[in-house]
Amino acid sequence: MSTLKIDEFWRIKGNSDVWNKVIDLGVRQEFKKGEHIILAGETVTELHYLRSGSVRMVRTSLEGNEKVIMHVEHHSLFCEVPFFTEEPITSSFSCHEDAVVYSFPKDTVDNMLAAHPSIAKDIIRTLSMKVSVLSNQLASLGLDTLEKRIVKFILLRYNSTELAENDTISLGSLSMKGVASILGVHRASLYKALKSLEKAGYIRILAENRLQLLNIDALAAIAYH
């Protein structure tokens, strides 16, 4: 399978192992899928490292509408911005998959930064990744058509999935509602756009949250146009 160049706009794919050297300094907690870790309005007094699982960052309007800002995968930090700014967080973090989280209070973080320069570099690297992802998301929301955003999302899944011979991808634990929230559209609009792609012969919508990619070249043309 050839990888298509698509800018990431919703996932933080952690790959850091530098935290292993200080992991015993943190407090270990386990969270189940759907459980909240941080609620909007809270003051974040600890730096959080996601050892396993995945979490999602969600912003909720006064009317109750939700927008998924990003998914953070294992071996990455989350909530570091409100931790360092010492201002109440405006979004919430909840488990997308069962998670193991290590939390480090401020005094411990200060000591770690002084003793382990690699920790400071990793924090900068993680923040840079998030700036890049959010910049790509803003650009896609402002410049891409709905069809183009959906196709980019599909191709990002294509890039990260070990495919069977029939080029079938799975949305995994993501629901259509969750995908719609990531893309900033209503679920009905998402489904209508997917049906349009199916009618054009580019994809086939399958059961069990799966899509079969029938014409990768055509999808790539939409993404790159």
pLDDT at 198: 98
Residue type, 201: G
pLDDT at 161: 77
pLDDT at 15: 79
**Sign of the C-alpha dihedral, residues 185, 188, 193, 197?**
positive
**Sign of the C-alpha dihedral, residues 39, 41, 42, 43?**
positive
Q: Which of 133, 125, 157 has the alpha carbon at shortest distance from 223? A: 157
pLDDT at 145: 96
pLDDT at 165: 55
Residues 174-215: tens digit of each pLDDT: 999 999 999 999 999 999 999 999 999 999 999 988 999 999
Residues 166-177: tens digit of each pLDDT: 688 988 889 999
Which two tokens mark 142? 């402002």
Which two tokens mark 218? 């055509």
pLDDT at 173: 87
pLDDT at 1: 52
Do the beta carbons of residue 94 and residue 56 sit within 8 Å?
yes
Distance separating alpha carbons of residues 138 and 10, to the nearest angstrom: 11
Which residues of the chain form CATH 1.10.10.10?
144-224
CATH 3.30.465.10 holds for 144-224: no
Burial tier of 151 (Cβ tally within 10 Å: 0-12, 13-18, 19+): buried
Distance separating alpha carbons of residues 225 and 216, to the nearest angstrom: 14
Which residues of the chain form CATH 2.60.120.10?
11-141
Helix spans in the chain (H): 80-85, 106-115, 117-143, 146-160, 176-183, 187-199, 216-224
pLDDT in 10s for each residue of the chain, 225 residues: 566 889 999 999 887 889 999 999 999 999 999 999 999 999 999 999 999 999 999 999 999 999 999 999 999 999 999 999 999 999 999 999 999 999 999 999 999 999 999 999 999 999 999 999 999 999 999 999 999 999 999 999 998 877 555 688 988 889 999 999 999 999 999 999 999 999 999 999 999 889 999 999 999 999 998
pLDDT at 160: 84
Which two tokens mark 45? 């007094």
Domain topology for 11-141: Jelly Rolls (2.60.120)
Looking up tokens 């699982």 gives: 53
pLDDT at 85: 96
* Degrees, nearest 5: CA angle 74-136-144: 130
pLDDT at 128: 96
